[in-house]
Each structure stands twice: as structure tokens, then as C-alpha cells.
Amino acid sequence: MNKLASLISGIMFGIGLVISEMVNPAKVLGFLDLFGNWDPSLAFVMIGALVVSSPLFHIIKKKEKPLLAEKFNYSNNKTINNQLILGSALFGAGWGLGGLCPGPAITSVALLNIYSLTFVASMFVGFYLVKSFNLSSPR
């Protein structure tokens, strides 16, 4: 059952990205083009997601355990350090260059666009490099 839950949340998340057009790098780059032709849509996606998730997180985490797993399992890392800033800055640079972040990039695999597939392959190389050099942020 929890396997089905993972699949269904992935599908819902992907459908949200398709409906909001966040799978389209042009929409994301429009949001980041604050000083040019600005498209505020991405902010509305985040607001929509937070309106639902934020209050429900606070209710659900008071439960003893999740419905289909033994225990809650999420990061409670509160560290604010150079690693956080440097990593976020590198991510922001890549996001601004390509207009893709991990969710939309993986969802766009279905569209079989050679440039987004190139991005995805290269992103996984990046994941692998960080893991092999042991630079991952602790949870």
C-alpha cells in the first residue's frame, strides 16, 4: 500500500507541474526574469502548494505515526552554514541557465525532448559526484 502511495503522490505532483506549466522552462525563466519581462506565475504555484501543505503538515505531524509507515521520517536539520548557501547558489545558477529544477526536469522526460533529457542525465551525474565525494548535506 505504501508503494502505491509513493506512485500516486508522484503522479499528483507531476500533474500539478503540468497544469501549472512549470514543466515548461520558458515559464520558469519568465519568473526569474524579474528585471525584464516578468511572469509571476511560479509564485502562485508556490503559494497554492503552501496554502494546502503548511496547515496540514502541522496537523499531521502531531499524529503518532503516518497511516502506512512505522514512523515519520524527515530531516530536522536546522544548520545554516556555508554549505547551504553555496549549494543553493550553485542550484540557482543552474536553474537560471536551464529553466529546469529536478521535479519539472524528471516530469519532462515523458515529453522526450533531447535537451531536457540531456539536462536530466547531467543532473544525475551531479548527484553521483556529490555522493562520491561525500559532500552531501546531512539530513
> Please, which of residues 1-60 interact with other proteins by CB under 8 A?
1-3, 5-27, 29-30, 32-54, 56-58, 60
Site for other proteins in 107-136 (CB under 8 A): 107-111, 113, 115-116, 118-131, 135-136
Residues 6+ apart with CB under 8 A from 27: 21, 39, 41, 42, 99
Shortest separation between residue 117's beta carbon and other proteins, angstroms: 9
62 binds other proteins (CB under 8 A): no
| Closest distance to other proteins from the beta carbon of 81 (Å) | 9
Query: Which string of b and e fits 39-67 if b means at least 16 CB within 10 Å?
Result: beebeebeeeeeeeeeeeeeeeeeeeeee
Q: Does 95 bind other proteins (CB under 8 A)?
A: yes
